[in-house]
Structure formats: C-alpha cells, structure tokens
C-alpha cells in the first residue's frame, strides 16, 4: 500500500545501538500536528550514558529507552532486559489488536544479562539488521550482531509502539522503528481531508449557479446588443452624441461583464462563511452537552472537527471496535451453577426475577478481610451455601482457586494482588478469593490456598495447559490428605463429552443453566474434577514424560496423554463471566438499528469473544435465521462459503456468477434497491481476518459486500487495523453510504481516519484514537445522542439554512435581471448600492443564522424516542438537487413578484400630491423594502423554533433595515457626502405614500401565500413523521404509539454455548518451569529436576504455540452454534 514507496528506498534496516550518527538517515522532519499530544509524552532515554526524559518525538532509532510498569511504549523496541527473571516482560496489546489477555515478550539471554546496569547498557553497540518498516503487527524478522555473534530475532523479542507494559516494573529496549516507521503508525492509514456530502453538493451547486450567472449575463448581453442596435443608437442624440459608432457587439460584451458583477450576488459567497459559523455553533452545542458529559471521568464530549456536523445526521453504517468501545474491558464473575443449582439471580420479595440495579444490595464480604472490595455479587444464597459448608460449593471454589495461571503478588501495602494474563481467569480467581478460597502463592511445585481461613498447600503434580483445540485446562494436585485430584475447566461442549456417565442428570440441568447464561451473553466455562488414584497417576505421568521426550510428533503425543487422563470427570458446575458492556450499549444499538443504521463490529479479538459480545448486546440473537461464518483459508474456500451463504439467502434459483459480470448485475439491482426486499429474515455474518483478506480482493468483494449488507449484523474478528480501514473503504466506495467508525485504541485509527466520521472514545489511557477522531466522548451510549439528536438537528438545520440561503439570493438578485429588460440592458441596478452591500450582511444574515443554529423541529426527547426520524438524513431528502431547484424556483418566483408588481403599480402613476413617485429612487426603495419584508416573513415561516434570539434577530433585522434606510436618506448625511447618499428624502417621501405600502403588502402576500399553501397541503396530504411528531408534541400528547415494545431488549435461552475465553497457550509451562517466578517466591527446596529437561525449550515452545494458536484457532469450527 502506501508504504510501498518507502520499501523501495529501504530494503533492509540496519540500526546500531547508541549511535545517533550511524542512524541519522532514519530521521523524519514530517510530523502530524495533531499528534502533538502524543509526541510530547515523555519517555526515559539513555543519552550519553545517562537516563534523560525525552519527548516521544525526539526518540530516534538506535536509542535505548527505559520503560516502567503501565507505561505506553513509545517506539518499536527490541527488548534488551527487564526486571523479571529471564528477561521476560508482559505487555497488553489491547490498543493494537483489541485482545485483552497479556502477552509475554522475552529478551535474548545475552542482552538480558545487561540488566539495569546503565553503564553497560550505554556501551551496548549491537547492530540490528531487519526488515524495512512495514505494517505487519505479528511478524518480525531480523538479527542482532553483537560481539562477533549473530542472534536471530523474531516477534517475541519486539515490543511495539502502542502496547502497555504490565506486571513488569521496568525494562530496557533498543529503538528499531521510531515515529512514523513504527508498525502502529504504518497501520494508521493516510489522513484524508474530510468533507461532508453537503459540502460537495454545495460546491457543485455553486458551480451550477455560476453557470446560471453566465447564462443570465449572456442573455442580457445579447439583449443589450439588440437594444443598442434597435433603440440605443438612435437614442444617442440626447445622451452621448460624441460617442458615435460604438459597436453594439462590443457594448454587449461590456454589458456581459457588468451584469456578471451586478448579478454576482446570486453566487452565495457569504454562504461558506455562514455554513462554517453554523457548524461551529453546532460543535459547541456538542461540547456543551451535559448529557454527553461523563461525570466519572469528567470527560466532555468534544467535536474535534467542526466541519462535519450535518453528516452526523446521515450515517448509514457504523463500524465499531469491540474492546473498550462496546465493552468496558472488565470481566466480572456474574453467575454460576453449582451441582445443578444456579446462583447469581436476584429475586424480589415475591420470588420474581429482577434486574440488578444500583439499589440491589450486594453480598457483604466484610467477614473476609482479604476480599477484593471491587468484587460484587448480589445473590446471598451462595454465601449461605458456603456458610453451611456445602462440599460441592467448596470443591467448586477450590477448583477456581487452583486451576489457573494467575501469579500472586503483594503490593506495597501488603495486600494480595493478582497478576493475570487473562481477565477471565482474574475474575474467577477473585471470585474464589472473595468467597473464602484465597489463592495465596505458588511455586512450580505447589499451590497455597487459604480455604475458609485455613492455609492449605497443594502439591502441583501436572499442568495440562490450555490451547485452542483443547479448549480446556487442567491441573493435577495432591492435597494434604494425599488425594490426587484433577481439576478441569473448559468449554462446555468439550467438557461434557469427557464426563463420567453418572453425570447424565446433572449435565442436563447444568446444560440448561449454561444455555441460559449463554443467552444472556455471558462467557461460560464448565467445571469438573476427577479423583485419581496413585497408581493410575504414576502410570500416566510416565506416559506424559515419554511423550515429552520424543521430538517426533511431540505435540500430538502430549495431547493424547492429556486426553487420556481428562475423562470420566465429575461435573461440578459452570461459571458465567460477564464481559461487561459499557452502560447503555444494548439500548444504543437497539435504537440505532431502529434508526436504520447498520452496525458492524470490527475487532482484533477472537471469534468466540466477538460473537459473545454480539449476543450480549443483542446484535446476534438465537431467532436469527442463519448466522454465516466465513473462515476459509484460501480464496476458493471463501468463495465457496460466500456461495453457500448466497444460496441460503436467495434460494438456489439465483445463479451465482463470479467476478465482474456479477458486479454489473449488482449495480443494476442496487439501483432498484430490490436486494434487501427480496430477502426476508434476519441474518448475521461473521468473518475472520484471513477470510476477510480474500473477501476484500477485487473479485470477491462485491459478493461479500452484497451478503454483508443484507445481513443485519456483521462481525469481523481477528482483523488488522488496516483491514478495518479497508472494510470501511469498501462500504464507502460501493454503497455510497455515509459511514462512521468508532473506537478507542490505536488499532482503530485507520478506520477512524478512513470513515466519513471518526469517533474516539476518550477518557481512557490511550489517546491515539481520540487524536485521529473527529468527535470524541467517553461512552459508547453517547453515540445515540450524537447521531439522533445532534446529528439530526445539524442536518435538519443545515438543509433549511441552505434552502433559505439559495432562495434569498435568487429573490434578491434576479430582480436586476427583470429590470434589465426595461432599462435597455444597461446593467443598471434596481437597488441602491448601499442596500446591495448591506442586504446579505446586515439585513438578512442574522435571522437565518439563528435558524441554522437554534432551530428544532422536534425536541431532543422525541428525536430519541422516534429513531425513524433519522431516516430523511440517510436518504438525503432534506437537501438535494431537487430541493435546490425548488428553492431556486421559489426565489425566481419571488423576484418576479418583487419586480412586476411594483412595475405595474408604478406605470405612469403619480403620488398623492400629484408629484412624481414613479422615479427610479422610489422604485428602488419600494422593491428593497418589499424584499426585506418578504424574506423576513419567509424566514419567520421557516423558523419552527422561535427562541428569544430568533425574535430579536427577525424583528431586529427589519428594525435595523428601516433605521439604516432613514439614516441614509436623511438630510444630515447628504450634507456631508452628497455624492454617496443621493437618495436624500426618499424614504420619507416614498414611505409616506399609501400607494407604496399597498404595493409592499401585495408583494409580500403574493410571495408568501403559495408557500403557505404548499406547506399546508403537504402536511395534510403527505405528512412526514417529523410533522406528525411535531403535532403530537404540540398537543402535549404523552402517548407514544411508535415507541412500543422495542425498548425492552429480548433475552433468549435456546441452546447455545457461551464459551469464550481470553486465554493464551503457554502459560502452563511458564508456571511449571518457574521461569516467571521471582526468586523470593520459589520454594527453597523445590526440586528443579522435573523442570530441567524442558527448561531449554520452553520458550521456543511458547513461541511456537503462540503462532500456532492463530492457525489452529481457525481450523476449529465446531464451537459455533
């Protein structure tokens, strides 16, 4: 893509540590201004042997920088050393890919020895040779040459910009890519200048008007030539007898230019300024809106771009990020099912299920001094069961406290905190902790748990790690009594097959509970245990060791060993974790869907998690006709899947032609927009990143888009930031629809930039998305208000404003055109020069501005209650070319009335005193006064929301007109500037004539009555929803028939697995090897023997498995529905 050019310049990058001269060529002068806030963040950089604070923008390739816990990474780094053993460090990549689990990076052993020793770090002079800057987030190849040795580098040793350091107190890294070269920035796409569709339309219209102006000029110039030829030349005897023989054609030519100058007011130059003023006003209303102010973080909504407001009223597609946008990125232990009984539901006094709200009393955990105060649970029966000592409940929580990969740590205050790599696990272990099963510490060999106040140490015999095929993890422990137990948690679909046959009944009950949880959008795990006897375990352990020793097909053999022991398990129950949605997400999505806005979720996260969120925010429901899942790995597979989906959608009769021929057909169909009509029912589409790559290619994109647009819900998972942008571009380009992208992380920047409107979620740590966005606010739910209230109003106001503005200019200017026919096409203006100057600026600018800023057809409450009101904006009904011509015609009609009524009335007429009143100056004053009154009455008709300001501006404009008129026609000003104000006495004389007032009255009524007629008939015959709502509003009718039942989000509970787990493979080995444990945590006598044999390879395994995860994940399609 756009970095191709750079690739040509740089085929390989060679960076030398601590040598700025060597790396000089990698410095860029260009910086985007809006990134200032990010560029000015500080980072500790090693310069001349000392650590100094430097701005991010001054960090250069080759620098060595120090990062501390919870800091954002400033550049793409090669990890050199860290505070953790073995040069490990943990990073959170939510900004980059939306995944919530922690990832491990580790330094090369040679560099990790450098530690925190500043002097040796300053002497480090390794040279990294690697790929040129690119946008691949999950790949890195290169090598480090240091001390005559070469060390290969891969992605596991690289920390990318945009990550956050977690659970690691410090680390050092060498900058490889800085600034715009970083993978994050390479992914962020190009910044385009955004303009609204109304802007583009406006430009076109202004060009048309210009053409119209030239036409008028030509007509009048021809008229002048003819007049000159037939009349003017003979008339010259009295006028300009000296000028003989002036060519009529030349005269026409001069007239043309004169008329271009006179009629130029038809080209609304002040329009652009006024439009900007209105938009600025609207932006301020967004900034000032208290209902979009998030008190918890004291974050205001902010319109960062002030020129896009009316487009907010035309959105058809919303592309939303998941993590941090729809969800809060907080997991809570919400419900569980233990031994066939559910806990977590709250019932009121009458035994009815109730919603949990702020008034619901949470369980009091004060009995447990080590409880985590943030944990809340509302069902008191569970704590009662614990107090009663139900052994199954004990076993349940014991399992949660034992079977996980969490690392315990004490913070400065001596409080126990958990370092979690997966937030799901964190939620489970914290739940166990609060219910009295406190996971205290672990060594590679043991796990210490405080069970109801009693410290118990379990011997960890084996750790059967999680992976995406197994979808489960197990631990085998020996309790102090000597019993060996296997504890397992995992996906219900998998686990249920491994249960002992005696569990049949419990399984059915639990399964029902699981579906119930799944239906509520909770992430579920089934939980089971197995008692093992000593001999069996020993035998099995031998088998495992054997499997571990062989090289050939090791993974399969290990997996087989795991299978062997994970069977005949006893079901304990299930857990349900809520991936907490942000407040009001469901309502917002429901309401936006009612407004006919399509919402696509684009996330970097896994398919299960994404689908789970889809269910929990009701974008996916069980009564959908079909959920298509595209996860093909080749173009052919994707094509096949698309074909199948299409057959289902259209029935087999519809032929499926490939490629471009179909494209044309699609275009045809699109014109009639029949596609959507022929398909009934709700469909959803879920597509994986790799399939999306093929679907976005030229030959498939039309099919993909067609199917995607029919589907009610589209979820794209595992997509890269650039793919997000490509999806947006695709819809933008082929559907000609207005798109909005909303996100919070750095991975959303590209789509935020490429969508028509980009919205950033602010008030969080990462600022990057907000900086690239056009609007920002703290909560997803504000989107509803932004679009349905602010956007709709902005669009409504802007359209009204434009209509009126064009009308006004035509009414004003075309009078000159008509007059041309009666003044020998001599470019004589009808009005006084002063009037022409002041008309647009003083007499008529403020009322229309007030309307453009303050007008409301329906109030904010109704805008939200009737989402259908949003429709006209999407269909672009309020201002389009047709409307423009209507406005123009209206303007022309008004100018016609304005000129010809006075013309008829002034023909050979005398004043009340017999004196001359049909003079040019009286004529000018009469028409000008009529014009001001007519356009004021018109704006009064157009204004539907008369605030004080509107009153002041409308009445004020008329008052100002008359006062300026009388001032300019006064004796005093004439005495000072006789040549500039030749209209002396005119206002006084003309406006005291009844005749002239009769003319003004007639003109006004004639101009305005047809408008009233049309509007009245339109409201009676074809009322829009807006008209109806206005009438309702007027009637103060509290009944809201259109609102109906749609508000209540449905909960369904058909059979569906809610399995989704933000876990990554490889942590089991970290734990059993003890590599991630501080020395102080290690049990002094712990035997290292067991871990010795694989300690050299565990990291390689980890890396290998991490890459496998991605691949294996997609192979498995059994989870779904």
Partner 1 sequence: MAWSATSPGANQPDNTAFTQQRLPAWQPLLSAGIVLPLFFCVGLAFIGLGLGLYYTSNGIKELEYDYTGDPGTGNCSVCAAAGERVAPPPANCTCQWCFSLSELFQGPVFLYYELSNFYQNNRRYVVSRDDAQLSGLASALRHPTNECAPYQRSPAGVPIAPCGAIANSLFNDSFKLLHQRLPGGAYVEVPLDRTGIAWWTDYHVKFHNPEPINGSLKLAFYGTAKPPNWPRPAYDLSPDPNNTGFVNQDFVVWMRTAALPTFRKLYARIRHGNYSAGLPRGAYCVNITYNYPVLAFDGHKRLIFSSISWMGGKNPFLGVAYLTFGSLCIVTGFVMLVVYIRHQDENGEDEDE
Is 296 or 359 the residue whose CB approaches partner 1 more closely?
Answer: 296
Count of residues engaged in binding partner 1, rule: CB under 8 A? 99
For the chain, the distance separating the N- and C-terminal CA atoms, rounded to the nearest angstrom, is 37
Per DSSP, the residues of 731-773 read HHHHH--EEEEEE-SGGGHHHHHHSSEEEEE-SSS--HHHHH-
Site for partner 1 in 736-775 (CB under 8 A): 763
Q: Which of 207, 560, 889, 910 binds partner 1 (CB under 8 A)?
A: 910
Is 211 or 985 the residue whose CB approaches partner 1 more closely?
Answer: 985
Binding track over 981-1010 against partner 1, x by CB under 8 A: -x-xxx-xx---xxx--xx--x--xx--x-
Distance CA 531, CA 479 (A): 11
Q: Which of 113, 534, 912, 1116 binds partner 1 (CB under 8 A)?
A: 912
Q: Which of 386, 648, 918, 952 binds partner 1 (CB under 8 A)?
A: 918
Please report which residue ranges of 124-164 form alpha helices under DSSP H: none
- Catalytic, 321? Answer yes
Is 442 or 790 the residue whose CB approaches partner 1 more closely?
Answer: 790
Is 598 or 816 the residue whose CB approaches partner 1 more closely?
Answer: 816
Distance CA 282, CA 277 (A): 9
As measured in angstroms, the least distance from the Cβ of 1013 to partner 1 is 5
1030 binds partner 1 (CB under 8 A): yes
As measured in angstroms, the least distance from the Cβ of 939 to partner 1 is 13
173, 792, 838, 952 from 960: Cα distances, Å: 70, 33, 11, 11
Contact by Cβ (8 Å): 742, 325: yes
Contact by Cβ (8 Å): 127, 120: no
As measured in angstroms, the least distance from the Cβ of 209 to partner 1 is 24
Residue 194 buriedness (CB in 10 A; 0-12 / 13-18 / 19+): middle
Determine the 3-state secondary structure of 81 from DSSP: strand
Binding track over 964-983 against partner 1, x by CB under 8 A: -------x--xx--xx--x-
Annotated binding site for Mg(2+): 321, 323, 744, 748
Distance CA 91, CA 102 (A): 6
| Site stretch for partner 1 (CB under 8 A), options 168-176, 282-290, 612-620, 734-742 | 282-290
Q: Which of 299, 307, 342, 616 binds partner 1 (CB under 8 A)?
A: 299
| Site stretch for partner 1 (CB under 8 A), options 119-127, 283-291, 455-463, 1111-1119 | 283-291
> Catalytic pick from 321, 832, 855, 857?
321
As measured in angstroms, the least distance from the Cβ of 924 to partner 1 is 8
Distance CA 902, CA 894 (A): 13
Site for partner 1 in 3-62 (CB under 8 A): none
Residue 899 buriedness (CB in 10 A; 0-12 / 13-18 / 19+): buried
1041 binds partner 1 (CB under 8 A): no
911, 914, 922, 989 from 996: Cα distances, Å: 9, 14, 9, 10
Determine the 3-state secondary structure of 409 from DSSP: strand
As measured in angstroms, the least distance from the Cβ of 592 to partner 1 is 21
As measured in angstroms, the least distance from the Cβ of 324 to partner 1 is 17
As measured in angstroms, the least distance from the Cβ of 789 to partner 1 is 9
As measured in angstroms, the least distance from the Cβ of 985 to partner 1 is 3
Is 288 or 885 the residue whose CB approaches partner 1 more closely?
Answer: 288
Determine the 3-state secondary structure of 871 from DSSP: helix
Determine the 3-state secondary structure of 1 from DSSP: coil
Site for partner 1 in 708-737 (CB under 8 A): none
Residue in this structure with the two tokens 């074809």, named with its chain if needed: 1022
231, 820, 955 from 346: Cα distances, Å: 96, 82, 61
Neighbours of 257 (CB within 10 A): 12
952 binds partner 1 (CB under 8 A): no
Binding track over 859-888 against partner 1, x by CB under 8 A: -x----------------------------
User: Between β-strands 127-130 and 13-16, what pairing exists: parallel, antiparallel or unpaired?
Assistant: antiparallel
| Site stretch for partner 1 (CB under 8 A), options 284-292, 711-719, 869-877, 1061-1069 | 284-292
Buried b (16+ CB within 10 A) or exposed e, 1051-1088: ebeeebbbbbbbbbbbbbbbbbbbbbbeeeeebeeeee
1039 binds partner 1 (CB under 8 A): no
1034 binds partner 1 (CB under 8 A): yes
330, 389, 1061, 1076 from 577: Cα distances, Å: 10, 24, 10, 27
942 binds partner 1 (CB under 8 A): no
Task: Give ∠ CA 153-157-159 in degrees, rounded to 5.
Answer: 130
1024 binds partner 1 (CB under 8 A): no
As measured in angstroms, the least distance from the Cβ of 298 to partner 1 is 4
Q: Which of 410, 539, 676, 913 binds partner 1 (CB under 8 A)?
A: 913
1040 binds partner 1 (CB under 8 A): no
Distance CA 729, CA 711 (A): 18
Annotated binding site for ATP: 321-323, 425, 466, 489, 523, 603-605, 718, 724, 747-748
Site for partner 1 in 482-541 (CB under 8 A): none
223 binds partner 1 (CB under 8 A): no
Site for partner 1 in 813-852 (CB under 8 A): 822-824, 826-829
Q: What is the DSSP letter of 475?
A: E
781 binds partner 1 (CB under 8 A): no
Distance CA 329, CA 255 (A): 71
Binding track over 248-277 against partner 1, x by CB under 8 A: ----------x-------------------
923 binds partner 1 (CB under 8 A): yes
User: Between β-strands 523-532 and 484-490, what pairing exists: parallel, antiparallel or unpaired?
Assistant: antiparallel
Task: Give ∠ CA 1071-1073-1077 in degrees, rounded to 5.
Answer: 60
Q: Which of 9, 350, 698, 1020 binds partner 1 (CB under 8 A)?
A: 1020
Which positions are catalytic? Answer: 321
């Amino acid at each position: 893509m756009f970095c191709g050019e750079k690739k040509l310049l740089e085929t390989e990058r060679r960076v030398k540590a601590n040598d700025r001269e060597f790396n000089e060529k990698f410095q860029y002068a260009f910086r985007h201004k809006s990134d200032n806030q990010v560029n000015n963040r500080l980072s500790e950089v090693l310069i001349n042997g000392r650590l100094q604070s430097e701005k991010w923008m001054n960090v250069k390739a080759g620098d060595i920088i120090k990062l501390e816990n919870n800091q954002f990474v400033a550049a793409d780094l090669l990890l050199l050393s860290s505070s953790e053993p073995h040069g490990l460090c943990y990073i959170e990549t939510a900004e980059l890919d939306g995944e919530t689990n922690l990832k491990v990076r580790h330094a090369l052993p040679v560099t990790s020895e450098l530690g925190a020793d500043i002097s040796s770090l300053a002497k480090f002079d390794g040279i990294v040779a690697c790929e040129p800057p690119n946008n691949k987030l999950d790949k890195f190849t290169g090598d480090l040459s240091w001390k005559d040795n070469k060390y290969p580098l891969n992605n596991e040793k690289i920390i990318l910009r945009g990550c956050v350091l977690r659970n690691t107190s410090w680390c050092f890294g060498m900058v490889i890519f800085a600034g715009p070269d970083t993978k994050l920035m390479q992914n962020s796409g190009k910044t385009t200048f955004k303009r609204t569709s109304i802007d583009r339309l406006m430009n076109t219209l202004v060009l048309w008007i210009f053409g119209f102006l030239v036409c008028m000029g030509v007509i009048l110039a021809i008229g002048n030539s003819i007049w000159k030829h037939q009349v003017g030349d003979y008339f010259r005897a009295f006028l300009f007898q000296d000028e003989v023989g002036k060519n009529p054609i030349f005269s026409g030519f001069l007239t043309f230019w004169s008329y271009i100058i006179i009629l130029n007011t038809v080209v609304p130059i002040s329009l652009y300024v006024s439009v900007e003023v209105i938009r600025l006003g609207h932006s301020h209303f967004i900034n000032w809106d208290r209902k979009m102010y998030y008190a918890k973080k004291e974050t205001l909504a902010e319109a960062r771009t002030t020129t896009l407001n009316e487009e907010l009223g035309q959105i058809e597609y919303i592309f939303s990020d998941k993590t941090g946008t729809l969800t809060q990125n907080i997991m809570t232990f919400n419900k569980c099912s233990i031994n066939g009984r559910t806990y977590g539901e709250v019932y009121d006094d009458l035994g009815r299920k109730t919603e949990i709200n702020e008034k619901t009393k949470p369980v009091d955990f004060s009995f447990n001094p080590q409880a985590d105060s943030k944990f809340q649970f509302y069902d008191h029966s569970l704590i009662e069961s614990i107090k009663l000592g139900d052994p199954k409940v004990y076993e349940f929580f014991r399992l949660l406290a034992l079977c996980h990969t969490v690392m315990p740590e004490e913070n400065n205050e001596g409080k126990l905190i958990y370092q979690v790599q997966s937030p799901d696990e964190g939620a489970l272990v914290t739940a166990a902790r609060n219910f009295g099963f406190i996971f205290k510490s672990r060594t590679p060999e043991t796990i210490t748990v405080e069970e109801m106040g009693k410290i118990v140490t379990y011997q960890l015999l084996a750790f059967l790690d999680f992976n995406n095929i197994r979808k489960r993890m197990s631990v085998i422990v020996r309790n102090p009594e000597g019993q060996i137990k296997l504890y397992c948690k995992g996906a219900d679909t998998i686990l249920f097959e491994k249960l002992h046959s005696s569990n049949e009944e419990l399984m059915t009950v639990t399964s029902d509970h699981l579906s119930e949880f799944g239906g509520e959008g909770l992430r579920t795990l089934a939980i089971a245990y197995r008692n093992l006897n000593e001999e069996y375990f020993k035998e099995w352990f031998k088998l495992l060791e054997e499997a571990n020793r062989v090289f050939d097909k090791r993974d399969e053999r290990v997996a087989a060993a795991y299978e062997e022991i994970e069977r005949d398990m006893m079901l304990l129950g299930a857990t349900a974790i809520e991936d907490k949605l942000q407040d009001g997400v469901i309502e917002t999505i429901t309401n936006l869907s009612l407004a006919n806005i399509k919402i696509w979720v684009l996330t970097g996260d896994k398919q299960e998690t994404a689908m789970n969120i889809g269910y929990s925010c009701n974008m996916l429901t069980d009564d959908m006709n079909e959920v298509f899942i595209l996860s093909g790995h080749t173009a052919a597979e994707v094509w096949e899947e698309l074909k199948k989906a299409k057959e289902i959608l259209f029935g087999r009769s519809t032929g499926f032609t490939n490629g471009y021929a179909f494209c044309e057909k699609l275009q045809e169909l699109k014109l009639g927009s029949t596609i959507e009509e022929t398909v009934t029912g709700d469909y959803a589409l879920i597509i994986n990143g790799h399939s999306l790559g093929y679907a976005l290619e030229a030959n498939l994109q039309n099919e993909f888009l067609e199917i995607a647009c029919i589907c009610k819900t589209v979820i794209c998972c595992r997509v890269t930031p650039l793919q997000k942008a490509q999806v947006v571009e695709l819809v933008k380009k082929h559907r000609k629809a207005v798109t909005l992208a909303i996100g919070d992380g750095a991975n959303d920047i590209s789509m935020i930039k490429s969508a028509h409107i980009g919205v950033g979620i602010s008030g969080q740590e990462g600022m990057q998305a907000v900086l690239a966005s056009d609007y920002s606010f703290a909560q997803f739910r504000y989107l509803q208000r932004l679009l349905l209230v602010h956007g709709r109003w902005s669009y409504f106001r802007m359209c009204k404003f434009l209509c009126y503005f064009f009308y006004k200019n035509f009414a004003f200017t075309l009078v000159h055109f008509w007059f041309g026919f009666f003044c020998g096409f001599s470019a004589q203006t009808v009005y006084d020069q002063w009037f022409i100057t002041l008309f647009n600026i003083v007499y008529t600018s403020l009322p229309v501005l007030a309307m453009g800023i303050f007008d409301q057809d329906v109030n904010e409450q109704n805008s939200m209650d009737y989402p259908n009101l949003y429709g006209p904006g999407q269909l672009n009904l309020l201002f389009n070319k047709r409307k423009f011509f209507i406005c123009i015609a209206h303007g022309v009609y008004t100018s016609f009335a304005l000129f010809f009524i006075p013309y008829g009335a002034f023909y050979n007429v005398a004043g009340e005193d017999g004196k001359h009143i049909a003079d040019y100056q009286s004529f000018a004053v009469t028409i000008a006064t009529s014009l001001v009154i007519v356009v004021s009455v018109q704006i009064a008709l157009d204004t539907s929301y008369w605030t004080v300001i509107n009153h002041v501006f409308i009445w004020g404009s008329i008052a100002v007109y008359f006062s300026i008129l009388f001032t300019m026609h006064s004796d005093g000003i004439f005495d000072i500037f006789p040549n500039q104000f030749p209209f002396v006495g005119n206002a006084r004389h003309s406006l005291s004539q009844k005749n002239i007032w009769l003319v003004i009255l007639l003109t006004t009524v004639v101009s305005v009555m047809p408008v009233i007629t049309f509007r009245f008939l339109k409201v009676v015959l074809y009322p829009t929803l807006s008209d109806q709502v206005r009438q309702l509003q007027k009637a103060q009718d509290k009944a809201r028939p259109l609102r109906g039942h749609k508000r209540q989000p449905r909960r369904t509970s058909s059979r569906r697995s809610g399995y989704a787990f933000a876990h990554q493979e490889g942590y089991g080995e970290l734990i059993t090897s003890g590599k991630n444990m501080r020395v102080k945590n290690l049990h002094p006598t712990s035997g290292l023997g067991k871990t010795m044999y694989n300690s050299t390879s565990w990291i390689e395994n980890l890396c290998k498995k991490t890459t496998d995860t991605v691949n294996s994940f997609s192979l498995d399609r059994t989870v779904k529905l």
